[in-house]
Amino acid sequence: MAKDKLEKSEYGAKSIQVLEGLDPVRKRPGMYIGGTSTEGLHHLIWEVVNNSIDEAMAGNGNDILVQLLPNNIISVRDFGRGIPVEIHPQTKKSTLETVLTVLHAGGKFGGDGYKISGGLHGVGVSVVNALSAWTRVETCREGKVWAQEYKKGIPQGDVKSIGKTDHTGTTVIFQADPEIFPEIKYSWTKILDYVRQQAYLTKGVKIVVEDRREATAPELEYKIRKHGFYFDGGIISFVKFLNRGKQIKNEMPVYIEKTVDDVAVEISLQYTDGYKEHLYSFANNIFTPEGGMHVTGFKMALTRVLNDYAKKNNLIKEKDGGMTSEDLKEGLTAVVSVKLRNPQFEGQTKSKLGNAEVRGIVSSITSEGIQEFLEKHPGNAKAMIDKCLLTVRARIAARAAKDAVLRKGALEGMTLPGKLADCTTRNAELSELYIVEGDSAGGSAKQGRNRMFQAILPLRGKLVNVEKTSLDKVVKSDTLKPIIIALGTGIGETFDVSRLRYGKIIIMADADVDGSHIRVLLLTFFYRYFEDLIKNGHIYIAQPPLYRIQKGKDVRWVYDDREKDAIVEEFRLKGKEAKGDKGKSGKDGKSEETSGELGGDEITPEELEEAGGEIEKIAGVTIQRYKGLGEMNPQQLWDTTMDPEHRKMLKVEIEDAEEADRVFDVLMGADVEPRRRFIQTHAKSVKNLDV
């Protein structure tokens, strides 16, 4: 049998597919831009903008213009040297066409093109061209404007001179291909955030972003949105921006800038009274979320220098011991930026820098810079050390409290004060933990759940706002302690995501103001101490219905008032149609279809008994409103909110960690004034306030 299959396979040279030119990009776009989702779509803009920033870093032109045009067209213009147009010696085509149509063709592989650049693979603009339905490139050089157009990466003619100019630079205009991207919708906020970040990292460069998508005619010019970024302070301004609204420890940020062996290092850091670290690292202006050698070198030096300074100046007591790297993370806001000639990134997405030589260089420069700062600014130095020592003491207290909690949990066999009703399966990928508001809802959830894979943990007592308290108090909290033990991951320095006992952690609270408050408190808790659970997609929010609407045997579960009104109207129209039908005549000559259900609005005793919430009847339509989860019986809770086949849930994601952190600070932080301003700003947008 196996022999027959081999003979029929006809595996030979014809079976091998060779993709030429830009075909590999269109075939496997994820290999080049990470995917075809929203992130991949925006990555097209980043690739072109990065080319313009490379020109600026090379000292050629300080102005960049990014425009969002109607019909999902993007235009990026710089005033650099302009892409060359002369015939390339290898391809025998115009250099402009070579750059736009050949992978790994660019000025970033040595030579005199760029000493430092954000590109590694030289595929940036050619990938954008390949994944665009239409592209046009204009380059200004030597007094002339040259242009060429492409469709799906294929040139639509030769490079031609279209006029004269006194400027130099390149303009790339493209329209993403809907055959590649299922949804083409650019985010103004996402673009502004990225451009702002790049402007901080390239001080002295002016980047203007214009949104002209709605300005489809001259009379609609007023709809243009415009934002410009220019920062003389560079990453010092970046650190101050990240710390806006926070209580600062060292009023003067640490700033270090030095170049050693063709590696330019720029670092700024500042401590706040917060409990979370905000460290942003970059290599050649490319964000490296997983860090790398530059971050390792920075942390080694920071730990060593602050410990040495504290001991030398008797700021640290013998009983406190030394400060660990973990102790120095709390409240730290830092930007670490390195620029080097040949960056070695791990993976196409460039999330981690791998150049081993960078670690020692960054460590040496950081040590020297921080030592100098501490000696020159003793007041700021003491504030930084005091903050770190406070973390040391909290760590020691938290460890003692945590050990006691975990010991107690183990001795009690995980029979927690919160009355965890565990599930049968021990497979974390299949199991779910419902964190439920209140004993009443918890009771219904326990009865209605599938015991095989669903665990229930009712919340008791007042939730702690972790934004205003330290870790040792968090682990002592009677409300949060059961959650910590139930998760099984540990917390703080002992956190290990591989020990997570449940694949889904689902917050299930009432759809009212109190429920919203509980959700925010729990999300703050997870964001501050279990951020990896959010990043890995483990945290969800249950969506219980507000209404149960029934007409005859037709039952609908409804999640908002707009949907309720639409369904009631649907039933009303059906009722009118039924009344309009003549139907069969009974013995008394009346229509059988119009008798009975449509006639009265009286609520039967059976309906009252079944209803947990408010109930009303309009034209034969029974509307039952649930004020809380506890008003649902176990079967209703299962049918609407817990049954995987029918439930609705929201997965909690962090699109922008910086913005998420700012919002948590505003809503939950110790400073009242930013929260007051937030409420005053958004009060008018609240349509329904449940008091």
Q: What number does CATH give the domain 23-229?
A: 3.30.565.10
Query: pLDDT band at residue 597, thresholds of 50, 70 and 90?
Result: very low
Nearest to 500 by CA among 450, 446, 429: 429
**Is 76 or 670 the better-scoring residue by pLDDT?**
76
**Is 3 or 446 the better-scoring residue by pLDDT?**
446
How much is the average pLDDT of 92-96? 89
Q: What is the pLDDT of residues 463-494, one digit of tens each?
A: 888 877 777 788 878 888 889 889 988 887 77
pLDDT at 110: 44
Question: Of the residues 308, 346, 512, 601, which is catalytic?
Answer: 512
Q: Examine the pLDDT at 566 and tell me if it is beyond 80.
A: yes
Q: CB of 228 within 8 A of CB of 207?
A: yes
pLDDT at 676: 65
A 10 A CB-CB count for 678 gives 13
pLDDT at 405: 53
- Whole-angstrom distance, CA of residue 691 vs CA of residue 688: 9
Is residue 437 flagged as an active site residue?
Answer: yes
Domain 412-544+652-685 has CATH 3.40.50.700: no
E strands present in 372-512: 432-437, 454-459, 504-508
Over pLDDT 90: what percentage of the chain?
Answer: 41
Question: Of the residues 514, 616, 643, 653, which is catalytic?
Answer: 514
Is residue 512 flagged as an active site residue?
Answer: yes
Question: Of the residues 138, 510, 639, 665, which is catalytic?
Answer: 510
- The overall average pLDDT reported for the chain is 82
Question: Of the residues 97, 177, 327, 437, which is catalytic?
Answer: 437
Q: Examine the pLDDT at 156 and tell me if it is beyond 90.
A: yes
Look at residue 498 and give its three-state secondary structure: helix
pLDDT at 121: 34
- Whole-angstrom distance, CA of residue 521 vs CA of residue 526: 9
Nearest to 379 by CA among 249, 272, 256, 273: 249
Is residue 601 flagged as an active site residue?
Answer: no
Handedness of CA 565, 571, 575, 576 (dihedral sign): positive
Domain 235-394 has CATH 3.30.230.10: yes
Is residue 561 flagged as an active site residue?
Answer: no
In the chain, residues under CATH classification 3.40.50.670 are 412-544+652-685
- Whole-angstrom distance, CA of residue 131 vs CA of residue 180: 7
Q: CB of 523 within 8 A of CB of 465?
A: no
Residue reference for tokens 């670092």: 267
Inter-helix orientation angle 38-57/188-201, to 10°: 30
Q: What is the pLDDT of residues 233-286, one digit of tens each?
A: 899 999 999 998 788 999 999 999 999 998 999 999 999 988 788 999 999 888
Alpha helices in 318-417 (DSSP H): 356-376, 378-411
Q: What is the pLDDT of residues 181-192, one digit of tens each?
A: 999 999 999 999
Q: Which residues does residue 556 pair with via DSSP β-bridges, in sequence order?
A: 549
Inter-helix orientation angle 513-529/657-668, to 10°: 130
Query: pLDDT band at residue 680, thresholds of 50, 70 and 90?
Result: low
pLDDT at 130: 93
How much is the average pLDDT of 357-380? 95
Residue reference for tokens 């590999």: 24
The answer for residues whose C-beta is within 8 angstroms of residue 650's C-beta and 6 or more apart is 540, 541, 543
Its pTM stands at 0.69
pLDDT at 120: 37
**Is 571 or 41 the better-scoring residue by pLDDT?**
41
In the chain, residues under CATH classification 3.30.230.10 are 235-394
- Whole-angstrom distance, CA of residue 399 vs CA of residue 491: 10
Q: Which of 9-18, 54-63, 296-305, 426-435 has the lowest mean pLDDT?
A: 9-18
Q: What is the pLDDT of residues 492-505, one digit of tens each?
A: 777 889 999 999 99
Query: pLDDT band at residue 299, thresholds of 50, 70 and 90?
Result: very high
Burial 603-620 (b: 16+ CB within 10 A, else e): eeeeeeeebbbeeebeeb
